[in-house]
Amino acid sequence: MEFELIQKFFMRRSQHSHILLENGDDCALLTSNQVLAFSIDTLVVGTHFLPSMAPADLGYRALAVNLSDLAAMGAKPMAFLLSLTLPDINESWLAAFSQGLLHLADSFKMDLIGGNTTRGPLAITIQIIGELPPDKALKRSGAKIEDDLYVTGKLGLRPIRPVPRIEFAQRLLDLAHAAIDLSDGLTQDLSHILKASRCGALIDPDLIPGTDYNYGEDYELCFTASAENRDKIKELAELTQTPVCIIGKIIQEPGIYNSRTREAIAIKGYQHFT
Ligand code: ADP
Ligand code: MG
């Protein structure tokens, strides 16, 4: 794409002192005395979104799904890079896309520090960078036997513009043991925590908020925490206006079981290659 168009739609003054050199050179330069968290996600037309999706929604969503990964780690957003593959140059499309994208970026005080633009079938890749205090990340491997098992929000809604649980998750660092974001469906995503933590879960399906918890694309959080932090987590949920529910607990026996019937619950969810 013409450099002028990149400049027009995607280049802005950086808002942060940790950006030593902003977008526009061969690399951006940033500095931090914290632990850095990196994640990357791609949205491909026809696979992850319909061609009819409004460009402003698409810009929002491409960043929101990446913010969801930072939230799942408890990381604070810093900056991101944008790789755009476009079938053609459409200025009104770019204006709406960048508005949806950069408005969300501003609300989390994030800088767009670089990118790449190529021609081809519409696809958007964002690499996000966050920061964390040392030894604090909410890893998938951190769940402990007897932990309460939580989910945020309501499942099955699959919002076009999911709200990343960033502030809640950062404050959860001292209260929770493990977390994951719900992109592929509750049982499948939960099973990643259970495998990494070598444990299982008892859940009460009647306690799961919402309709179908195995659709995926909710971008809510699933996390585990010691029962002694129940009151603090409830307070934090109110403070940050984040709905939370305890849906079960962590047990030693691998697998997911219905806490009422003790029957195994099948692991289902979105499969990327079938
Ligand atoms: P190079 O040839 O060094 O890879 P480019 O010509 O691809 O550089 O890009 C020029 C500058 O514009 C770089 O600083 C790059 O980070 C930035 N850039 C290119 N595409 C985008 C984009 N889609 N969003 C944000 N910045 C971009
Ligand atoms: Mg380049």
DSSP string, 196-208: HHT-EEEE-GGGS
CA Rg value for the chain: 20
Q: What angle do CA 219, 223, 227 make, to 5 degrees?
A: 150
CB 164 within 8 A of CB 73: no
The closest-lying atom of ligand 1 relative to the alpha carbon of residue 1 is 20
Q: Share the mean pLDDT of the chain.
A: 95
DSSP state of 153: S
**Predicted confidence (pLDDT) per residue in 194-205, tens digit:** 999 999 999 999
**Predicted confidence (pLDDT) per residue in 51-77, tens digit:** 999 999 999 999 999 999 999 999 999
Q: How many CA atoms lie within 13 A of 199 on its CB side?
A: 21
Ligand 1 within 6 A of CB of 62: no
Tell me the best of 22, 25, 63, 116 to mutate to test the pocket of ligand 1, counting ligand atoms within 8 Å of each CB and taking the most: 116
Which ligand does the CA of 84 lie closest to? Answer: 1
pLDDT of residue 1: 65
**Predicted confidence (pLDDT) per residue in 32-54, tens digit:** 999 999 999 999 999 999 999 99
pLDDT of residue 262: 94
How far is ligand 1, taken at its centre, from the CA of residue 66, in Å?
Answer: 20
Please report which confidence band the pLDDT of residue 13 belongs to, taking 50, 70 and 90 as the band edges. confident
Amino acid at the residue 141: S
Amino acid at the residue 118: T
The torsion angles phi and psi of 44, rounded to 5 degrees, stand at -110, 135
Q: Angle at which helices 91-107 and 3-10 pack, to 10 degrees?
A: 40
Mean pLDDT of 173-193: 97
pTM for this predicted structure = 0.94
Question: What are residue 168's DSSP bridge partners?
Answer: none
pLDDT of residue 211: 86
What number of residues does the chain have?
A: 274
